């Protein structure tokens, strides 16, 4: 347990310093560098002095958190110190102890700090701290305080006793605390309903002779759950303000969620409740809304929110009533699909309901019935699902579902469907954005349908020229990010001429391809007629039209023209939009020209990766191009290169083809291709591939139920995935030990009615930490193979990380662990793991293959001086120095530098930073000899003295 202590020390230092004194005794300056060893030393000294002067609370200094200083006849410090003391934790989280000495400056300081923090965090009520009146504390993971504070604020009183103000910050801990206190007081005053406070939902306050609060509190009470989900209990006290409030809230939420019927809550008439995973309510609410009656009995309005529970409930009720009134078709309500309503002497509904009924099976397996309503959302959903499943099962053609065109069904052991589906798939794009292909079969119903759709959409988007589609006369298409069409359409329209030649109408849909095409044509004609300004059409910005003996247009066009040259020939600008089709086209042209000019490397353009441009006598480009070329053959037939992008569709396709060919050539093992896992290639008279393929095949069952086979490739992603799934399922089925999957260590399998696995899984779970970081427990069974294995792994890792001392592991000599063991079981397998924290003082008995230093005067510099082992040696030297009579009270800080020598063991000469009483630092040299075998019993202090 930690207590943040505010120890005020009027520490006067005699010093020679040219620092101006603080004029005002109430002015204190913040200490900026709180980590300064001198400041930290002062804090430690204060805690020590506190203990010497009779403080028997066992405080242990941790660190100085913050502080202030003042210079008046010396330097005074006020420090906030983090110190730890042994205090027994409060067992019950509801137990709070009264603060006996409420006038304690520390407690009063906490109250003042709370008011100050309240203001800093946005409390703009101008509170001024007066004093702490009373309080409670609790010790659980630190010390918590609940204080009653007397504070003054300038708040004008509420003139009208009926005026209440809404509490804006309902999550304010003070407001939440009031709610909790109210529930507690309710219980104390005899409320035996076992209420447990959850949170304050909303509230109001009023200032008149103090502050009054009215709070809406969410509280939980023990109520036995309803066993049957169809059982609802009648609400007995329907006038309960809480129930009436729920009704009002429901009407309000209905309005917030888009209900624009202007409902005004009147009261709750009746209701039911059910307790299952919380409390559910079904309320009958009296609400008033201003709704004009429908004048025409044939006018019906579409129901916009068809998923409204009320509408769905009406549908369910209709199906139930249908059955009660003699409908013997066994209908089961599914959902309301759509509907209409009419308001005339009440509200009438006409609903389209999805219901399921028993259907006799089809006798003949060759009989299929045509699906009559092909636009049924259910049928369309089946089509979409089929396309999605096709993709999941390896269909790599990128199909995108459009709609179901037609279909058949059959009822035999369920319902089977055969559907004709319209789907779209990627088609190689047109390289040049100016290339369009002529539509050959212009009478194709699809093309004619597009033309008719274009005319209809033109009308929907505001075209009020009354066009009537006749036919498509001709057209072009282009494939770039989908398929684009340019169609010449024969359409008829009745258009009255413009009477006044000065009347022009604004073009509303300026993005219309026809209008944009007119703009482009105008720029082209301008150039043909002698315009030498090099204009390039961009787009039409706006325009007007007039109908008089035809149609006239006046257009505002965005066009690009040559830009002034770059002054410095070395200045190049980066091309920002490298995917611009124009830039990509330049790249392709460059590769083509390179080939035409004699480049015989067979380059094939892929794409432009990046580039720069410069404008000087035209535009110059420097492009970085991705191109593919034939690769020279591999000289050595044993040289193979690893395939880097194994997910490339081409590589995956090769794998699938190999499995198919294997089957064609007589492979009767029924292999089904899954994916290519890895592979190599070689270029010699073509390209050769060696692929590792994941394939599935039928496996004969194991005859003996006690026979299990070892899993050879335990790193197989499938096996590792099974392990991860097992841990996840373990958690879902109620395992509340917080396990996190690491990896599968080993396992066995058996094939009987499927494949069974027994896996040994490495999993990690949260383990409560040791309270004191200096507490270590000795490992009793040091011969445990797991512990010995850890030792061997440490030596191996030491070598991998650059340790070139040739260490060979023999056995553990000593080890410590911190955190308890944990167990995990799956299918009878127990995996025991210990979370070990092996420290640097853990010594290995080994045969070291390190050559001794020949010359006794040769010492090698220690390169990694921050190595915990080296730092530990330094700490040991300071401790040994004290044990051997060094009474200078040195406290080890860190090792600054050092040397080592290998002669009859290892000798170290270290330069150590240590702190003396009073906070001053000194530099010391220590000499340590380690004999073989090495442990702390064989370490010897050779010398320890001040460096200077």
pTM, 2 dp? 0.21
With left for phi above 0 and alpha for psi between -120 and 50, is residue 258 left, alpha or beta? left
Give the number of C-alpha atoms closer than 13 A to the C-alpha of residue 551, restricted to the C-beta side.
Answer: 13
> Is the same domain home to 280 and 295?
no
pLDDT mean across residues, the chain: 83
**SS3 (DSSP) at 102:** coil
Two structure tokens written together for 651 = 């590589």
Q: What CA–CA distance (Å, rounded) separates 263 from 281?
A: 20
Question: What count of other Cβ atoms lies within 10 Å of the Cβ of residue 699?
Answer: 11
pLDDT bucket at 85, cuts 50 / 70 / 90: confident
Q: What CA–CA distance (Å, rounded) separates 437 from 485?
A: 10
Domain that holds residue 399: 369-423
Cα-Cα-Cα-Cα dihedral of 253, 255, 261, 265, to 10°? 50
711 in a structural domain: no
> Is the same domain home to 265 and 307?
no
Q: What CA–CA distance (Å, rounded) separates 296 from 762?
A: 74
Residue 789 has pLDDT above 50, yes or no: yes
> Is the same domain home to 878 and 868?
yes
Name the domain boundary from 189, 222, 255: 222
Give the number of C-alpha atoms closer than 13 A to the C-alpha of residue 116, restricted to the C-beta side.
Answer: 7
Question: What count of other Cβ atoms lies within 10 Å of the Cβ of residue 650?
Answer: 7
> Is the same domain home to 277 and 333?
no
Phi first, then psi: give them for residue 548, nearest 5 degrees: -150, 110
* Residue appearing with tokens 């200096």: 774
Q: Which among 42, 97, 102 is positioned nearest to 69, based on CA atoms?
A: 42
Cα-Cα-Cα-Cα dihedral of 751, 756, 762, 766, to 10°? 170
CATH number reported for the structural domain that contains residue 180 in this entry: 3.10.450.10
pLDDT on residue 622: 92
Query: What mean pLDDT is predicted for residues 667-680?
Result: 91
What is the DSSP track for 854-887? Answer: SSTT--EE-S-TT-HHHHHHHHHHHHHHHHTT--
Which residues contact residue 252 at a Cβ distance below 8 angstroms, ignoring those fewer than 6 apart?
265
Two structure tokens written together for 305 = 């929110």
Query: What mean pLDDT is predicted for residues 732-746?
Result: 91
Yes or no: say if 775 and 818 are a contact pair by the CB < 8 Å rule. Answer: yes
What is the DSSP track for 669-737? Answer: S--EEEEEEEEEEEESSSEEEEEEEEEE---PPPSSTT--EE-S-TT-HHHHHHHHHHHHHHHHTT--S
37 in a structural domain: no
* Residue appearing with tokens 């220690």: 862
Question: What count of other Cβ atoms lies within 10 Å of the Cβ of residue 712?
Answer: 6
> Is the same domain home to 863 and 922?
yes
pLDDT on residue 439: 94
635 in a structural domain: no
Choose the weakest-confidence range: 229-243, 268-282, 425-439, 663-677: 425-439
pLDDT bucket at 719, cuts 50 / 70 / 90: very high
pLDDT in tens, 337-387: 999 988 877 788 999 998 887 767 666 888 889 999 999 988 999 999 999
Highest mean pLDDT among 295-304, 316-325, 790-799: 316-325
> Is the same domain home to 218 and 274?
no
Q: What CA–CA distance (Å, rounded) separates 271 from 253?
A: 18
Q: What CA–CA distance (Å, rounded) separates 566 from 614?
A: 6
pLDDT on residue 430: 65
Which residues contact residue 750 at a Cβ distance below 8 angstroms, ignoring those fewer than 6 apart?
702, 705, 707, 708, 709, 756
Query: What mean pLDDT is predicted for residues 66-80?
Result: 91
Share of the chain above pLDDT 70, in %: 86
The H-or-E segment that residue 51 falls in is helix 37-52
Two structure tokens written together for 366 = 């060759």
Q: Which residues pair with 265 in a beta bridge?
A: 287
Highest mean pLDDT among 38-47, 76-85, 260-269: 38-47
Q: What CA–CA distance (Å, rounded) separates 936 from 670?
A: 65
> What are the residue ranges of helices labelled H in 360-436?
377-392
183 in a structural domain: yes
Query: What mean pLDDT is predicted for residues 524-545?
Result: 91
**SS3 (DSSP) at 564:** coil
pLDDT in tens, 824-837: 222 322 222 222 22
The H-or-E segment that residue 554 falls in is strand 551-560
- Measured in whole angstroms, the distance separating CA 433 from the mean position of its chain's CA atoms is 40
> Is the same domain home to 217 and 228?
no
Name the domain boundary from 358, 379, 408: 358
pLDDT in tens, 347-360: 889 999 988 877 67
492 in a structural domain: no
pLDDT on residue 550: 76
Two structure tokens written together for 332 = 């089961």
Q: What CA–CA distance (Å, rounded) separates 274 from 278?
A: 8
pLDDT on residue 685: 73
Burial class (CB in 10 A: 0-12, 13-18, 19+), 930: buried
Number of domains observed in the structure of the chain: 7
Name the domain boundary from 205, 222, 239: 222
What is the DSSP track for 778-824? Answer: E-S-TT-HHHHHHHHHHHHHHHHTT--S---EEEES--EE-S--EEE
The residue with greater pLDDT, 729 or 768, is 729
Two structure tokens written together for 703 = 């005859």
pLDDT in tens, 108-142: 999 999 999 999 998 888 899 999 999 999 887 78
896 in a structural domain: yes
pLDDT on residue 635: 67
> Is the same domain home to 877 and 917?
yes
822 in a structural domain: no
> Is the same domain home to 217 and 237?
no
Two structure tokens written together for 576 = 């920002």
Residues composing the chain: 948
Q: What CA–CA distance (Å, rounded) separates 54 from 790?
A: 48
Share of the chain above pLDDT 90, in %: 45
Q: Which among 448, 443, 469, 470 is positioned nearest to 458, based on CA atoms?
A: 469
813 in a structural domain: no
> Is the same domain home to 858 and 936?
yes
> Is the same domain home to 169 and 243?
no
Which residues contact residue 91 at a Cβ distance below 8 angstroms, ignoring those fewer than 6 apart?
none
pLDDT on residue 404: 94
> Is the same domain home to 332 and 298?
yes
């Amino acid at each position: 347990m930690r207590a943040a202590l505010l120890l005020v020390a009027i520490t006067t230092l005699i010093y020679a310093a040219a620092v101006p004194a603080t004029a005002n005794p109430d002015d204190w300056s913040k200490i900026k560098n709180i980590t300064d060893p001198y400041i930290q030393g002062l804090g430690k000294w204060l805690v020590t002095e506190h203990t010497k002067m009779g403080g028997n609370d066992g405080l242990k200094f941790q660190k100085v958190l913050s502080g202030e200083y003042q210079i008046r006849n010396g330097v005074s410090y006020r420090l906030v110190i983090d110190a730890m003391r042994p205090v027994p934790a409060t067992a019950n989280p509801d137990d709070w102890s009264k603060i006996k000495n409420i006038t304690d400056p520390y407690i009063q300081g906490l109250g003042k700090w709370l008011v100050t923090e309240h203001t800093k965090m946005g409390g703009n009520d101008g509170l001024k701290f007066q004093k702490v009146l009373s309080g409670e504390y609790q010790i659980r993971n630190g010390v918590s305080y609940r204080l009653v504070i007397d504070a003054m604020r300038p708040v004008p009183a509420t003139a009208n006793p009926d005026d209440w103000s809404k509490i804006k910050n309902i999550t304010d801990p003070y407001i939440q605390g009031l709610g909790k206190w109210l529930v507690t007081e309710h219980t104390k005053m005899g409320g035996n309903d076992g209420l447990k406070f959850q949170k304050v939902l909303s509230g109001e306050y009023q200032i008149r002779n103090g502050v009054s609060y009215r709070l809406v509190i969410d509280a939980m009470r023990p109520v036995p759950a309803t066993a049957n989900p169809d059982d609802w209990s009648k609400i007995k006290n329907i006038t309960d303000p809480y129930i009436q409030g729920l009704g009002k809230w429901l009407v309000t939420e209905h309005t917030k969620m888009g209900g624009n019927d202007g409902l005004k809550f009147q009261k709750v008439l009746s209701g039911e409740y059910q307790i299952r995973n919380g409390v559910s309510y079904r309320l009958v609410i009296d609400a008033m809304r201003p709704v004009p009656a429908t004048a025409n009995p044939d006018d019906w309005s579409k129901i916009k929110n068809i998923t409204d529970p009320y509408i769905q409930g009406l549908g369910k009720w209709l199906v139930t009533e249908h059955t009660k009134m003699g409908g013997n078709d066994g209908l089961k309500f599914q959902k309301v699909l759509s509907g209409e309503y009419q308001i005339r002497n009440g509200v009438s509904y006409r609903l389209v309901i999805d219901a399921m009924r028993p259907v006799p099976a089809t006798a003949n397996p060759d009989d299929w019935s045509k699906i009559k309503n092909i636009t049924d959302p259910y049928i369309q959903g089946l089509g979409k699902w089929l396309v999605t499943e096709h993709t999941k099962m390896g269909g790599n053609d990128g199909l995108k579902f459009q709609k179901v065109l037609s279909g058949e069904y059959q009822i035999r052991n369920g319902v089977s469907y055969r559907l004709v589906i319209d789907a779209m798939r990627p088609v190689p794009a047109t390289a040049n954005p100016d290339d369009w292909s002529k539509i050959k079969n212009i009478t194709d119903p699809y093309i004619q349908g597009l033309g008719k759709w274009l005319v209809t959409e033109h009308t929907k988007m505001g075209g009020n020229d009354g066009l009537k589609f006749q036919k498509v006369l001709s057209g072009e298409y282009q494939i770039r990010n989908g398929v684009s069409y340019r169609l010449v359409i024969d359409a008829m329209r009745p258009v009255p001429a413009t009477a006044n030649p000065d009347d022009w109408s604004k073009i509303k849909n300026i993005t219309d391809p026809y209008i944009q095409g007119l703009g482009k044509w105008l720029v082209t004609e301008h150039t043909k007629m002698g315009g030498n300004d090099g204009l390039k059409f961009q787009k039409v910005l706006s325009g007007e039209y007039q109908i008089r003996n035809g149609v006239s247009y006046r257009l505002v066009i965005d066009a690009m023209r040559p830009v002034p040259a770059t002054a410095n020939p070395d200045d190049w600008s980066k091309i920002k939009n490298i995917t611009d089709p124009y830039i990509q086209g330049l790249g392709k042209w460059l590769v083509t020209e390179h080939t035409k000019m004699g480049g015989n490397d067979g380059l094939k353009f892929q794409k432009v990766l990046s580039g720069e441009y410069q404008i000087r006598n035209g535009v110059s480009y420097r492009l970085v191009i991705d191109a593919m070329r034939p690769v020279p053959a591999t000289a050595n037939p044993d040289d193979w290169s690893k395939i880097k992008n194994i997910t490339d569709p081409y590589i995956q396709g090769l794998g699938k083809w190999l499995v198919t060919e294997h089957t064609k050539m007589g492979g009767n093992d029924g292999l089904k291709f899954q994916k290519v896992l890895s592979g190599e290639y070689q270029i010699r008279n073509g390209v050769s591939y060696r692929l590792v393929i994941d394939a599935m095949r039928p496996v004969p069952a194991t005859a003996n139920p006690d026979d299990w086979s070892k899993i050879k490739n335990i790193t197989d992603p499938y096996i590792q995935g099974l392990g991860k799934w097992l841990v996840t399922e373990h958690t879902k089925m109620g395992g509340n030990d917080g396990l996190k999957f690491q990896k599968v260590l080993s396992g066995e399998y058996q094939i009987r009615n499927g494949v069974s696995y027994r896996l040994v899984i490495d999993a990690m779970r949260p383990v409560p930490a040791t309270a004191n970081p200096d507490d270590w427990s000795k490992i009793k069974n040091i011969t445990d193979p797991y512990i010995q294995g850890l030792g061997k792994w440490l030596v191996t890792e030491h070598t991998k990380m650059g340790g070139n001392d040739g260490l060979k592991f023999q056995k553990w000599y000593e080890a410590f662990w911190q955190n308890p063991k944990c167990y995990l079981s799956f299918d009878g397998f127990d995996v025991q793991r210990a979370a070990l924290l092996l420290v640097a003082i853990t010594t290995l008995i080994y045969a070291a293959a390190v050559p001794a230093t020949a010359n006794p005067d040769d010492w090698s510099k220690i390169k990694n001086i921050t190595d915990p082992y080296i730092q530990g040696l330094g700490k040991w030297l300071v401790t040994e120095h004290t044990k051997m009579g060094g009474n200078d009270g040195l406290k080890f800080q860190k090792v600054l530098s050092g040397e080592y020598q290998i002669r009859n063991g290892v000798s170290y000469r270290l330069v150590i930073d240590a702190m003396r009483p009073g906070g001053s630092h000194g530099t010391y040299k220590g000499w340590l000899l380690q004999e073989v075998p090495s442990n702390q019993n064989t370490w010897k202090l050779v010398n320890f003295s001040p460096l200077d």
